[in-house]
């Protein structure tokens, strides 16, 4: 019996050819021709001021923290149901992450809890578009404006998704993208900082270039570059950018395949899920999601754990997702306690993700569906 993985990167375009071109032309470091192509393509497609490729989404979040010019005691509101980088990036640069719960339908940040968490020390809201389903931006944006807060969109799941006709990643002052191998568009490791506030572009370029004004030098705006600010080496290799460009050229095909797989799960698991009181993803009206995650939520954690074991016996790899950050070792040091955020805690215990990758065959998906529907909680 052939094992069906949770995820598998699919190389369906000119990725190998472009990598070869990069090696042949001798520019394998950052800021090469493929980096420019990728940055220009994303900026033009979604309509942002600037896209900067980075070594990871985590590093893009760290750049966001530096652009906020955080001071000790400053607070950044983040969902507890997210990857650790969403919080640790700000903590690394002096801020205190303030956790809030998510909504039970979409698992996106709860605007009411954000409102309650704002204090005079709050500097920003960092939200996540979970699974590529847009958060309630029509509530969050006025809230940020009212209190003078910046918004950072952790859009690791949501590239090319839309909320009420507007691209995810273009609402806030800044947004971050991930191109990790588990993402829809991938190059193994990598990320991007999306800049919507033009006033932040120049400093973001400096931060990414080790604190130097080298970007201006490369554009011929100055005759030499020098050290002008803090920063680090967050420029992505043009080899990885070459892979990304090959993926982005075929983005419509990649997303079409993923959506077909997602829709089949949604259609063929509906009766089983309803009969067994298992929740499937909810996509509100006005959201154009990215088919990044198809998850199931059981009523109890022991059901989820037995389900994962059941699928493993059928040669199918299913995995849980985020564990509540407020209950982590660091989260508890910050005051997190059991029962504080019940939706997050339930998702951490009871959510499981099904295999979903663009090269998944119909036969593979049939096996997954048959394994799922043969389980009785």
Summarised one tens digit per residue, pLDDT across range 324-348 is 999 999 999 999 999 999 999 999 9
CA 95 to chain centre: 21
Q: How confident is the model at residue 290 (pLDDT cuts 50, 70, 90)?
A: very high
* Model pTM above 0.75: yes
CA 4 to chain centre: 24
On the question of pLDDT at 362 being above 80, the answer is: yes
Cα dist from 47 to 1, 249, 275, 285, 298, whole Å? 47, 17, 44, 23, 39
Q: How confident is the model at residue 315 (pLDDT cuts 50, 70, 90)?
A: very high
Per-residue tokens: 118: 């704002």
CA proximity to 127, closest of 165, 180, 179, 163: 163
Residue 367 · residue 306 · CB < 8 Å:
no
On the question of pLDDT at 220 being above 90, the answer is: no
Q: How confident is the model at residue 32 (pLDDT cuts 50, 70, 90)?
A: very high
CA proximity to 82, closest of 187, 158, 188: 158
On the question of pLDDT at 258 being above 80, the answer is: yes
On the question of pLDDT at 275 being above 80, the answer is: yes
Q: How large is the average pLDDT for residues 257-286?
A: 98
For residue 62, the SS3 value is helix
On the question of pLDDT at 185 being above 80, the answer is: yes
On the question of pLDDT at 224 being above 80, the answer is: no
On the question of pLDDT at 217 being above 90, the answer is: no
What is the residue-wise DSSP string for 122-185? Answer: EEEEEEE-GGGPPP-HHHHHHHHHHHT-EEEEE-TT-TT-EETTEETTSSSSEEEEE--TTSSS
Q: How confident is the model at residue 158 (pLDDT cuts 50, 70, 90)?
A: very high
Q: Where are the alpha helices (DSSP H) in the chain?
A: 15-25, 33-46, 57-67, 85-92, 111-117, 137-147, 201-208, 214-218, 238-249, 251-268, 270-275, 301-313, 329-333, 342-350, 362-373
Q: How large is the average pLDDT for residues 103-127?
A: 98
On the question of pLDDT at 370 being above 90, the answer is: yes
The confidence score (pLDDT) of residue 91 equals: 96
**What is d(CA 188, CA 209) in angstroms, rounded to the nearest whole number?**
22
More confidently predicted of 215 and 182: 182
In order of start, what are the domains of the chain with their CATH numbers? 15-249 (3.40.640.10), 251-373 (3.90.1150.10)
Percent of the chain with pLDDT over 70: 100
At residue 115, what are phi and psi to the nearest 5 degrees?
Answer: -55, -45
Cα dist from 303 to 204, 276, 310, whole Å? 46, 11, 10
CA proximity to 128, closest of 95, 94, 165, 99: 99
The confidence score (pLDDT) of residue 320 equals: 95
On the question of pLDDT at 126 being above 80, the answer is: yes
Q: How confident is the model at residue 219 (pLDDT cuts 50, 70, 90)?
A: confident
**What is d(CA 238, CA 35) in angstroms, rounded to the nearest whole number?**
6
Residue bearing tokens 């909504």: 103
On the question of pLDDT at 223 being above 90, the answer is: no
CA proximity to 90, closest of 52, 136, 120, 122: 122
């Amino acid at each position: 019996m052939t094992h069906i993985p949770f995820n598998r990167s699919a190389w369906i375009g000119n990725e190998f050819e472009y990598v070869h071109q990069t090696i042949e032309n001798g520019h394998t470091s950052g800021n090469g021709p493929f980096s420019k192509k990728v940055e220009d393509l994303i900026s033009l497609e979604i309509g942002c001021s600037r896209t900067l490729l980075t070594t990871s989404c985590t590093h893009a979040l760290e750049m966001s923290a530096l652009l906020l010019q955080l001071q000790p005691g400053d607070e950044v509101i983040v969902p507890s149901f997210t990857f650790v980088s969403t919080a640790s990036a700000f903590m690394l640069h002096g801020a205190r992450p303030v956790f809030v719960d998510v909504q039970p339908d979409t698992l996106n940040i709860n605007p009411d809890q954000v409102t309650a968490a704002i204090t005079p020390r709050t500097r920003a809201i960092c939200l996540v578009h979970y699974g590529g389903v847009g958060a309630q931006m029509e509530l969050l944006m006025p809230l940020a404006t009212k209190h003078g807060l910046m918004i950072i969109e952790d859009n690791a799941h949501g590239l090319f998704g839309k909320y009420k006709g507007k691209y995810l990643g273009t609402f806030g002052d800044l947004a971050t993208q991930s191109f990790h191998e588990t993402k829809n568009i991938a190059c193994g490791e990598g990320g991007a900082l999306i800049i919507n506030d033009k006033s932040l572009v120049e400093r973001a370029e400096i931060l990414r270039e080790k604190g130097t004004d080298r970007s201006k030098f490369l554009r011929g705006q100055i005759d030499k570059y020098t050290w002008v600010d803090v920063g680090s080496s967050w420029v992505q290799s043009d080899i990885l950018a070459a892979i990304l460009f090959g993926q982005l050229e075929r983005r419509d095909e990649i997303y079409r395949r993923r959506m077909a797989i997602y829709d089949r799960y949604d259609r063929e698991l509906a009766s089983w899920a309803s009969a067994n009181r298992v929740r499937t993803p909810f996509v509100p009206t006005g959201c154009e999601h990215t088919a990044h995650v198809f998850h199931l939520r059981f009523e109890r954690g022991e059901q989820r754990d037995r389900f994962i074991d059941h699928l493993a016996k059928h040669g199918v790899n299913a995995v849980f997702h985020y564990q509540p950050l407020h209950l982590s070792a660091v989260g508890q040091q910050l005051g997190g306690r059991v029962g504080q955020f019940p939706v997050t805690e339930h998702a951490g215990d009871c959510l499981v993700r099904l295999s979903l990758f663009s090269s998944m065959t119909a036969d593979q998906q049939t096996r997954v569906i048959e394994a799922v529907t043969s389980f009785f909680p």
